[in-house]
Amino acid sequence: MRVPPGSTDALVNAPPRVHNWGAKANVALVFASLAAVLVVAAFVTAFVVRPPALGWVGFAIVSALVAGLGVVATLALPRMRVSAPDPATALNADRRLLVVADASSSATGLCNEIGMRLDGAVAVHLVVPVRVSHLHFLTNDEASEEREAEQTMLIVVGLLQRRGVSATGSVGSDKPLESMTDALGTFPATHVLLATPPAEESYWLERDLLAKARALTKLPITQAIVAVDQSERSTGPRAMSAGAGRSVSPGQRSGH
């Protein structure tokens, strides 16, 4: 349910993430279609062409290439919605900062970057997209990556709140751009900050992210490079309680 624009609730309650089962169904449809074509081709080859043994080897090679192209096409074409939700609007001109951050970001480094860009912002909403591998993106098997994104979000929101920032957070989808447009549908941001890791550690769906994001909204967008703190990720505050929620509002404090 859409909260009336400008209300306080519009700034604090993030919608829960909905699994993209439509995308998964599209992947299944692609492979089912390929399988059907190959089966028909095999019958035609066996009963009409009747090739020698070497011909079957060639058929197997061609089948493998077709299947490989199907995988490449599925990964290459973004699973974006046909249309993004309408941006939320506010009744006042207060500055509100939307942050879209990589799940591998150092919590302390990300908080520092956000702090340098507050510029009087009355509210900050942090969205952490799920960072997935090519295989998990294809199969929608993202449970562990969702937990990592949730932990990052909870830690950073907790740190911001302890610094006196009115901060909220949510876990996005496995597509950074879709996560941004979804968040803009409920959070009336006046500025967007994209927090990404260094180039050598970048996420494959974050390539050319700044240019693509600017093409989707008229809001000013800046990008910050946030290092990955490996020690923090393994031994630091990411060891959160298992029962933590997926979204955080100003009335909640993320304890350690």
State pLDDT tens for residues 48-65.
777 777 767 777 787 777
Alpha-carbon distance of 135 to 76, in angstroms, equals 12
| Structural domain boundaries, residue 196 | 9-256
124-148 pLDDT tens trace: 999 999 987 655 455 555 678 888 8
Residue 196 pLDDT class (50, 70, 90 cuts): very high
Within-domain flag for 247 = yes
Query: Are 20 and 251 within 8 A, CB to CB?
Result: no
Q: Give pLDDT, residue 9.
A: 35
Kindly state whether residue 1 falls inside one of the protein's structural domains.
no
Report if residue 79 sits inside a domain: yes
More confident residue, 145 or 238: 145
Q: Is residue 2 part of a domain?
A: no
Residue 131 lies inside a defined structural domain of this protein: yes
Q: Would you give the DSSP letter of residue 196?
A: E
Q: Which residues pair with 196 in a beta bridge?
A: 225
- CA distances to 4, 116, 162 from 218, rounded to whole Å, are 22, 22, 32
- Tell whether the model's pLDDT for residue 25 goes beyond 70: no
The total number of residues written for the chain in this structure: 256
Residue 22 lies in a domain: yes
Q: What percent of the chain has pLDDT over 90?
A: 38
So what's the pLDDT on residue 65?
76
3 state DSSP class of 208: coil
Q: Is residue 96, in this structure, part of any structural domain at all?
A: yes
> 41 or 111: which carries more pLDDT confidence?
111
Residue 128, domain CATH? 3.40.50.620
Q: How many domains is the chain partitioned into structurally? A: 1
Phi and psi at 247, nearest 5°, equal -130, 155
